[in-house]
Structure 1
């Protein structure tokens, strides 16, 4: 789809799930453009624009968008930076249809961080600009309800994050069974809660492996966990190493306070590994019946599910993982969700 243009401020690995989703969509529509103000050096398919200031203002991006063909479609990813705002303004001025994927950035829990600044920005600038979108894209039904309240006159469509169907890698024996977290280490991910609960279970003969790029929060958590030799921080992991970590884990745990599905949950399940995560991810409730576990992100519920899952036999663990993998293929694979994107983009032409 040559006339499709993805626009975001950051598609580097530091951006977390936004990068994964944009890259995945682009792999299905490879003729599309990706425009950003931050990218990694190996992101050869991304056109990067210079930016300045905390808003990442990019005047060259505005100029570029003002000159793209009129039959273009803009897909905005994210909501807080100049890239999305200027794209919405240019699109409205030139009568170019656009869709916005907030990627969970308007979820209630996230408004607590920088609440006043975010509310003022939304009220004064973003709400009027984004209300002109042809569609607002939600990843879960819960997010769809929330976005419809924020944009009552705009159609909000729900298409979940999608994942390619991959065969699980061969599982290898590890020195000790382990629970695993992989992802961006941010307070909303609940990693501190996970460490606190794990440390309280002194008799648990498991390791806890935490993988993700190092940042200020991860350094704080390393300090918190330094007295427990069972806990290790692996830094950033990718590719085959990441798949093997998923596959070998007794269970993957993502105790997020706020999330919209979370690609790591789908990635782990695709490797036939049971996934323990939270209702706040917006995953379908059937996750609980198909091999996964949904809890609320609090101490007691996480403690109980850790104890319960530590008692699974290998056969039970494998049955749960295979069942969850099949559920993800049925509900969250590109096989199911690609036709939804094709229909949505075509309706905007």
Structure 2
């Protein structure tokens, strides 16, 4: 789609699911462009701008936005940094239609981090700027309700995160069966809870593989596991591409016990590899996930323990059957084949 610009403060791999979602949408509309203040060195097709300070202020980005075509569309991703604020203010000033996707950043659980600063910033800056959007985009029905309370006079639309349909890679029997967590290692992801539950199950003859880039929280958890002396738990660092697909495919189950999420892409990626996924109601996945080979729980010790024990008793045929059903469900509800027409209609309605 011509003159469509995706604007976010960070599209590097460290940004986690935001990068995946933004790049996936851009691939569906290859004439659109991504503008950011932070990217990875190999992201040649993404235009980045110099930034400074904790707000990632970028005068260069603001200037660039002011000189874009008047018939542009802005799709703003995220809510807390200068990139989003200046994009919304520029769009309003130049009568450029724009849509804001918060990517779950206004979910109640996340307000607990830096609560006072976030509330002040919302009231003083972002609320009035984003309220002028043509649409606010929610990824789940629950997020849609929350956003409608924050922006009562703006239309809030709901389109889920989506994934490309790909073939299942060939399975290889691992030396030892394993459970898998893969993603950004952050306190909201429930990785520490997963470690606590797993280490309490001393007789469980499984490994736990934790995959994600190293950061401060990951190092804390590595130190904790070292003190626990549980050799079944392995931290593999960042894994990408075909290696990631094989990790998904060969896992007995994928587990993402997140406290707050909006249809985490890793859940969809694992399911696309026909692997059963245990995750939480707080991810906003459709409740029918439970009826189609997956399992939704609340992120607490008791429910996660029960889910791990249940899945550890699946036979190979039970595990494969659940994984295949979940893959078919994801294709039906979360594939780009189903969701691209929704985005196309939404963008066309903004012209």
What is the match of residue 342 of structure 1?
344
What is the match of residue 8 of structure 2?
8
Deviation digits for residues 241-296 of structure 1 (CA, Å, limit 9, x no counterpart): 00000000000000000000100000000000000000000000000000000000
1:236 is displaced (CA, Å) by: 0.2
1:145 aligns with 2:145: yes
DSSP 3-state at the match of 1:100? strand
Separation in structure 2 between the aligned mates of residue 52 and residue 93 of structure 1, nearest angstrom? 24
1:185 is displaced (CA, Å) by: 0.1
Separation in structure 2 between the aligned mates of residue 223 and residue 299 of structure 1, nearest angstrom? 21
Q: 2:239 aligns with which of 237, 240, 250?
A: 237
1:20 is displaced (CA, Å) by: 0.1
Q: TM-score, normalised by structure 1?
A: 1.00
What is the match of residue 128 of structure 1?
128
DSSP 3-state at the match of 2:270? helix
DSSP 3-state at the match of 1:137? strand
DSSP 3-state at the match of 1:160? coil
1:221 is displaced (CA, Å) by: 0.4
Separation in structure 2 between the aligned mates of residue 149 and residue 200 of structure 1, nearest angstrom? 41
DSSP 3-state at the match of 1:164? coil
Separation in structure 1 between the aligned mates of residue 223 and residue 302 of structure 2, nearest angstrom? 23
1:2 is displaced (CA, Å) by: 1.6
5 Å-filtered alignment, 1:272-291, equals: 272-291=274-293
Separation in structure 2 between the aligned mates of residue 30 and residue 37 of structure 1, nearest angstrom? 20
Separation in structure 1 between the aligned mates of residue 15 and residue 314 of structure 2, nearest angstrom? 35
1:45 aligns with 2:52: no
Q: CA RMSD, aligned part only?
A: 0.4
1:188 is displaced (CA, Å) by: 0.0
Separation in structure 2 between the aligned mates of residue 60 and residue 203 of structure 1, nearest angstrom? 58
Aligned residues: 349
5 Å-filtered alignment, 1:151-170, equals: 151-170=151-170
Q: Displaced runs of 4+ in structure 1, greater than 6 A?
A: none
DSSP 3-state at the match of 1:170? coil
5 Å-filtered alignment, 1:187-206, equals: 187-206=187-206
Separation in structure 2 between the aligned mates of residue 60 and residue 167 of structure 1, nearest angstrom? 42
DSSP 3-state at the match of 1:128? helix
Deviation digits for residues 93-152 of structure 1 (CA, Å, limit 9, x no counterpart): 000000000000000000000000000000000000000000000000000000000000
What is the match of residue 324 of structure 2?
322
What is the match of residue 210 of structure 1?
210
Deviation digits for residues 179-216 of structure 1 (CA, Å, limit 9, x no counterpart): 00000000000000000000000000000000000001
Q: 2:270 aligns with which of 255, 268, 271?
A: 268
What is the match of residue 24 of structure 1?
24
Q: TM-score, normalised by structure 2?
A: 0.99
Q: Which runs of 5+ in 1 are unaligned?
A: none
1:225 is displaced (CA, Å) by: 1.1
Q: 1:294 aligns with which of 290, 293, 296?
A: 296
